[in-house]
A and B are shown apart, each in its own frame.
Chain A
Amino acid sequence: MPLVENTKCECGHQNAVGTVLCEHCGKPLQAQELQSNEPLEMRYDGVARRSQKVNPNWIDRVWNFFSSVKIAIYLIILTFLSAMLGTVYPQENSFVNVTDFAKYYEENYGALGLIYYRLGLSHTYESWWFIGLLVMIGTSLVICSLDRVLPLYRALNKQQIRKHLQFILRQKTVYKGMISGDTEDWSKQFGDALKKKGYRVHRDGTALLAEKNRFSRWGPYINHIGLILFLLAILARSLPGFQMDEYITIADGDTVQIEGTNYFVKNEKFTIEFYKDEELPDKLKGTARAKLFETKAVLYECTLNCNDPLKEPVLEELKTHDIIVNAPLKYKDLKLFQYDFNLTPRLNAVHPVIINKETGETFGPFDLPMKDSALKHEVGPYTLELIENYMEFSIDANGDPVSLSRDPNAPAFVFHVRGPGLAENGEPYIYFPMQKDKEIFQQDRLNGKLASKLEISVNGMDNVNFSEASTYLNVRMDKALKYVWIGAFFSMLGLLMGSYWQHRRIWIRIDEGELSLGSHTNKNWYGMRSDVAWALAKAGITVDPKSLDNGGNKA
């Protein structure tokens, strides 16, 4: 027959399984502990952890697993070790433009790099097992705290003033001596002295309990609440829309959608400024030193037709901001940082005129965008029908015109022109907006006789619309960050509460003129002993604080 642990104390109090010191009178309950003379184990005031049961079922077993501080420490060590492994080589998410990571790691870090990649350590912090460890630490934090804070709260909230002699005399700071005169008066005098030191004093006849700074006992639990919040915030980052780290390229004047959102960003103008020589120290003169990178940006939100390929999205302006380094555009949780730039200009549109070379008359200008131009232009007496366009004009091996790319690097337009002095059903005319292309491809020769009758050309740079540069912006969003900060705040608050203050308690009882005093604190025993010695002196007993030491003090 299994022995059922006797948890009933001689004072009549029924304690929970696992109780070390009677919750009521403080007498040690376990036989081994009772026979010893060593100072008592005062952890959690000797109360049982909440979950300890005689017959645990599977829920209790899971609970007890996470309730163990030993398990928690193993989990933390394991997490630290794997977090260290994740720092050996850069993580995948630190590369913006790599697609084949296996190749990248092998080429840059050799065979070890490839093993590192194959083991999945190149994305340690997003791996299922790392997140799993975090979840387990979180669980352990909640369960460990719950199991200890509730019984501790209960134990500290209804403390018995008169404690068992064994409890008092087996504290780490102890005094024993005879009192002459009225014992109740002495007890009161001693209590009044402690009140001056900021203790709360409770008396029960000659027995006394003085206590201060109990709140510091809640420090670790507030710290844990902070850590749990912190962990939840980290885990929340995997929720859709909680975190974003993207890069967008916008040419001057363009509006680009931020992928995965309803936001659009317009780059009104990108500016780069360099220091003038007179602003630079001698050794830097003549070098290009950037003074300013600035994107005049406008943030829009799409309100209608956002994903309709047939319609233009309807945009509503939210904010304008001049983005410079370290001064991002901020809107709600969205931040747009200046990241890079490209100074390659891009031709957007020209506004050419048509010149009748025979009469010298000029007509126009008309609008000719490089992309998706109107197919028909009526200019004065002329009608221009656009029949072909090329973004980067060239002649292929067969002698046919082709475009080498989709960017307007060498644009060309073929019009069918009708008008005065031209053939009834029109004549073809090829037009190169850029002067260099006009010469390379010999526009006039291609147009033959028509070149002597009319000319399409641009009058001055005012009639040319181009983007001088493109800006690269880093789009970031981290909705979890503010919760991380709140968590960190509580964590720090709890840490301060638990470490700058100490919970000090003093118990006395006087049995037939004999004073028994014991006191307990969680740290700084030196201060504890000096408090006791000071109060004893006020009540007429002079002792050396060191003599109060009952051993067992490592602190």
Chain B
Amino acid sequence: MGKWRRTVQIIVLSAVVIIGGYAIGMTLFASDEGAPPKVGGQPPSFALADLEGNVHQLSDYEGQALVINFWGTFCPPCVKEMPEFERQYEKWKDEGLTILAINLSEDTLTVNNFVRRFELNYPILRDMSRKTERKYGLRSYPTTFFVKPDGTIMEIKVGGMTEQEIDERISRLLQH
């Protein structure tokens, strides 16, 4: 029995390290999975179609400064922001800014009419059945996520912004 003692000890202790390490690790690192995103954390992934039917994934924009805005035509501050985002997009796009405006699961005609009316050029993505909005834990509209090129969230702005406020945040975002 003596010669097996060391083997048994090593097997038992390794099992403890693997199972215990995994269980404790899960509580430390993975507990945010499925929880709404926080400042400093990573935005949840998505794959959404734009108006032309191209699929945009969050991972397509890795390494870029990103503004993710949730909007709807039924929300007056969102409507006010959209042309402001357009101007900001034109101003900063050459410096690597991307704006993704995710519509709050409205129907195609409504979104198309709106985009045509304001001549928006940044990608307008279509959420379906409120899935992405739930993943992002949205409580009110508009909500805007400023994502740094390293993929972490710099700020989550709930509610409308003035153009100056948008401008100030974007220039801060691009400094990272």
Q: Which residues of A contact B (CB under 8 A)?
A: 50-51, 59-60, 62-63, 99, 126-128, 131-132, 134-136, 138-139, 142-143, 146, 150, 154, 232, 235, 238-240, 256-257, 259-260, 307-310, 371-373, 375, 386-389, 391-392, 396, 402-406
A386–B112 alpha-carbon span in the complex (Å): 12
Contact in complex: B9, A309 (CB < 8 Å): no
* Chain B positions within 8 Å of A139 at CB level: 12, 16, 20
B107 at the interface (CB under 8 A from A): yes
Whether a CB of chain A sits under 8 angstroms from the CB of B91 is no
Given contacts A128-B24, A388-B109, A389-B109, contact A63 B13 (CB under 8 A): yes
Bound Cα distance A15, B131 (Å): 69
Chain A interface main SS type: mixed
Q: How large is the interface on B (under 10, 10 to 19, 20 to 34, 35 or more residues)?
A: 35 or more
Tell whether, in the assembled complex, residue B53 and residue A310 are in contact, meaning their CB atoms are under 8 Å apart. Answer: yes
Name the distance in Å between A184's Cβ and chain B's nearest Cβ.
36
Q: Taking the nearest CB of chain A, how far is it from the CB of B75, in angstroms?
A: 9
**Chain-A contact segment, one of B26-34, B93-101, B166-174:** B26-34
* A372–B12 CB distance below 8 A: no
Cα-based distance from A307 to B48 in the complex (angstroms): 9
Residues in A neighbouring B33, C-beta threshold 8 A: 240
A128 touches B28 (CB 8 A): yes
Instruction: Decide if B115 is an interface residue (CB 8 Å cutoff).
Output: no
Closest approach, in angstroms, between the C-beta of A244 and any C-beta of chain B? 10
Q: How far is the CA of A66 from the CA of B37 in the complex (A)?
A: 40
* Contact assessment for B12 and A143 in the assembled complex, using a CB-CB cutoff below 8 Å: yes
Cα A393 to Cα B129 in complex, Å, equals 21
C-alpha spacing A62/B1, complex, angstroms: 20
Chain B minimum-CB-distance residue to A142: B12
Q: How far is the CB of A295 from chain B (nearest CB, A)?
A: 19
Does B39 belong to the interface (CB within 8 Å)?
no
CA distance A373 to B107 in the complex (A): 9
A/B interface sample: 22 pairs, CB < 8 A: A59-B9, A99-B137, A99-B139, A126-B27, A128-B27, A132-B20, A138-B16, A146-B12, A150-B1, A238-B30, A260-B34, A309-B47, A310-B49, A310-B53, A372-B107, A389-B109, A389-B110, A391-B106, A402-B73, A402-B76, A406-B74, A406-B104
Residues of A within 8 A of B23 (CB): 131, 134-135, 235, 238
Verify if B142 is at the interface (C-beta below 8 Å from A): no
Complexed CA–CA distance, A310 and B49 (Å)? 6
Q: Closest CB of chain A to B162's CB: distance in Å?
A: 19
A residues less than 8 Å from B53 (CB atoms): 310
Q: Are B55 and A132 in contact (CB under 8 A)?
A: no
- Using known A-B contacts A257-B129, A388-B113, determine if residue A403 contacts B20 with beta carbons closer than 8 Å: no
Contacts of B28 in A (CB 8 A): 128
Query: Residue of A at shortest CB range from B128?
Result: A309
B36 touches A99 (CB 8 A): yes
**A135 and B104 contact, Cβ closer than 8 Å, known pairs A309-B47, A310-B53, A388-B109:** no
Contact A235 B19 (CB under 8 A): yes
Q: A309-B47, A402-B74 are in contact. List 15 more A-B contacts (CB 8 A).
A: A131-B26, A132-B20, A135-B19, A139-B20, A142-B16, A235-B19, A240-B33, A257-B129, A259-B134, A260-B34, A308-B47, A310-B49, A310-B55, A372-B109, A392-B74
